[in-house]
Chains A and B, each alone.
Chain A
């Protein structure tokens, strides 16, 4: 199971890559494996400021619909639009081409509550 060291994680199986005050967000390799073939991703909150734990989108596998939760507070500044036509990138490249949104963080202290790679590994093992 690939759990990159340089990322932060949540108990909702999302990952964050933090660069200054911008967080790139996706779902973990474990999560995509549990969901199976991803067939649709919907994010209609671009440009909105959302609180931590608010729903920013939905991800649909063949048999399931799952909400995507904000791991931190901030504004959704960008949606990975290639996912509209190629949602399967989340399966094939969860940490790279399958990123979902970028968020401009407004509460940097929230980062302290996120899980390290080691802690996330313990969560799913």
Chain B
């Protein structure tokens, strides 16, 4: 298991440490998941998500290369912009989903899931018939996500970069807390206002300490709250809601699948989009008491299997049981009556629209 720059700091803050994707990481701190969740919704919290992978792709043909392997339209990116996209595989599934940054002309940054790092690098290298340079910098970068309504006010105290001018899914590279060349990215996985700060490992501790030095109260937030926060907004988690065998069309990621260009498996996906798919990822709210968990079956009123849950939790904001899952297409519309098989019981549930929390 690898340590992050700040693993010991998290432990000393009372972090309950686990092995996550091969990294020693805090799943929660001493005040608990619900507390952490509310702090991010109402104030501001910081997540150390340095396990995420940073892969730079550069070269004259980098645009053509990325167009050929990703689902979204890279030509729409200008320097300073970020795009959510995925790497479709040849069999209808997804290799990984990630953020793509245009750092400068002919230089891009891919921020990928740690658990998929090896697979992604193999995939990207195998498809690199464009002579691009692929530079995995994951071991040299940390990533701190500062999220919540007070995040900009807090961060602005530490930098001269005007953060209010950076729009959602845009970034600037600048000095913050005395650390140079930090990528200040107006993105996040919580649905709140916030920034993700990519910092070289030499500056991580200095930046972390500075975040806690302002006059705005800040709490450290663990992976468990990261999961409940993203689920309330209906953001997909690779390994749960999407994987090697779920297509972006099935997963509701048609909006990042652009047929203005050719890419891996684009013919098939285009057909899916035109002709429809037999199953869809939907948002589910349980009506009767119970919690739907990953891999629980979804059944119809007669108990016949019609799908499977991919993520589920008790929403701390709504105090309701919410889930994502794949259902046969005839059950995809809002208000479809479905049931979740929870141990011996079938719990009544409803298909609802996303996000769960507005």
Per-residue interface assignment for chain B, residues 266 to 310, with 1 indicating a CB less than 8 Å from any chain A CB and 0 otherwise: 000000000000000000000001110100000000000000000
Neighbouring A residues of B293 by C-beta, 8 Å: 65
Q: In the bound complex, do residue B32 and residue A40 qualify as a contact, i.e. CB atoms below 8 Å apart?
A: no
Q: In the bound complex, do residue B314 and residue A40 qualify as a contact, i.e. CB atoms below 8 Å apart?
A: yes
Q: How far is the CA of A36 from the CA of B27 in the complex (A)?
A: 11
Per-residue interface assignment for chain A, residues 43 to 67, with 1 indicating a CB less than 8 Å from any chain B CB and 0 otherwise: 0100000000000001010110100
Neighbouring A residues of B344 by C-beta, 8 Å: 44
Q: How far is the CA of A37 from the CA of B290 in the complex (A)?
A: 16
Query: Known interface pairs A58-B343, A62-B313. Does A40 touch B291 (Cβ–Cβ under 8 Å)?
Result: yes
Neighbouring A residues of B321 by C-beta, 8 Å: 40
The one of A40, A60, A62, A84 in contact with B34, judged by C-beta atoms closer than 8 angstroms, is A62
Query: Known interface pairs A60-B291, A62-B34, A84-B289. Does A39 touch B224 (Cβ–Cβ under 8 Å)?
Result: no
Q: How far is the CA of A63 from the CA of B226 in the complex (A)?
A: 12
Neighbouring A residues of B313 by C-beta, 8 Å: 39, 62-63
The one of A37, A42, A44, A60 in contact with B33, judged by C-beta atoms closer than 8 angstroms, is A37
Interface size class of A (residues with CB under 8 A): 10 to 19
Tell me the chain B residues, 14-45 only, with Cβ under 8 Å from chain A: 16, 27-28, 32-34
Q: How far is the CA of A53 from the CA of B237 in the complex (A)?
A: 36
Q: In the bound complex, do residue A63 and residue B224 qualify as a contact, i.e. CB atoms below 8 Å apart?
A: yes
Interface size class of B (residues with CB under 8 A): 20 to 34
Query: Known interface pairs A63-B227, A84-B289. Does A37 touch B32 (Cβ–Cβ under 8 Å)?
Result: yes
Neighbouring B residues of A63 by C-beta, 8 Å: 27, 33, 224, 227, 313
Q: In the bound complex, do residue A36 and residue B28 qualify as a contact, i.e. CB atoms below 8 Å apart?
A: yes
Distance (whole angstroms) from the CB of A93 to the closest CB of chain B: 15
Q: In the bound complex, do residue A42 and residue B224 qualify as a contact, i.e. CB atoms below 8 Å apart?
A: no
Q: In the bound complex, do residue A36 and residue B345 qualify as a contact, i.e. CB atoms below 8 Å apart?
A: no
Q: Is the interface of B mostly helix, strand, loop or mixed?
A: mixed
The answer, yes or no, to whether B68 is at the interface (CB within 8 Å) is no
Q: In the bound complex, do residue B289 and residue A36 qualify as a contact, i.e. CB atoms below 8 Å apart?
A: no
Query: Known interface pairs A62-B228, A63-B27. Does A40 touch B33 (Cβ–Cβ under 8 Å)?
Result: no
Q: How far is the CA of A44 from the CA of B288 in the complex (A)?
A: 14
Q: In the bound complex, do residue A62 and residue B289 qualify as a contact, i.e. CB atoms below 8 Å apart?
A: no
Q: In the bound complex, do residue B32 and residue A36 qualify as a contact, i.e. CB atoms below 8 Å apart?
A: yes
Per-residue interface assignment for chain B, residues 310 to 333, with 1 indicating a CB less than 8 Å from any chain A CB and 0 otherwise: 000110100001000000000000
Distance (whole angstroms) from the CB of A58 to the closest CB of chain B: 7
Query: Known interface pairs A36-B33, A40-B289. Does A62 touch B343 (Cβ–Cβ under 8 Å)?
Result: no
Distance (whole angstroms) from the CB of A42 to the closest CB of chain B: 7
Q: Which residue of B lies closest to A87 (CB)?
A: B314
Query: Known interface pairs A36-B28, A44-B345. Does A62 touch B290 (Cβ–Cβ under 8 Å)?
Result: no
Q: How far is the CA of A63 from the CA of B67 in the complex (A)?
A: 37
Q: Which residue of A lies closest to B27 (CB)?
A: A63
Q: Which residue of A lies closest to B227 (CB)?
A: A63
Q: How far is the CA of A104 from the CA of B227 in the complex (A)?
A: 41
Q: How far is the CA of A84 from the CA of B290 in the complex (A)?
A: 10
Per-residue interface assignment for chain A, residues 61 to 75, with 1 indicating a CB less than 8 Å from any chain B CB and 0 otherwise: 011010000000000
Q: Which residue of B lies closest to A63 (CB)?
A: B224
Q: Which residue of A lies closest to B319 (CB)?
A: A39
User: Hey, which bits of chain A sit against chain B, CB under 8 A?
Assistant: 36-37, 39-40, 42, 44, 58, 60, 62-63, 65, 84, 91
User: Hey, which bits of chain B sit against chain A, CB under 8 A?
Assistant: 16, 27-28, 32-34, 224, 227-228, 289-291, 293, 313-314, 316, 321, 343-345
Q: A36-B32, A44-B344 are in contact. List 5 more A-B contacts (CB 8 A).
A: A40-B290, A62-B34, A62-B224, A63-B33, A63-B313
The 10 A-B pairs with the shortest beta carbon distances in the complex, nearest first, are A39-B314, A62-B33, A37-B34, A37-B32, A37-B33, A63-B224, A40-B291, A60-B291, A62-B224, A36-B32
**Can you give 7 A-B contacts (C-beta < 8 A)?**
A36-B28, A39-B291, A40-B321, A42-B343, A44-B345, A58-B343, A63-B313
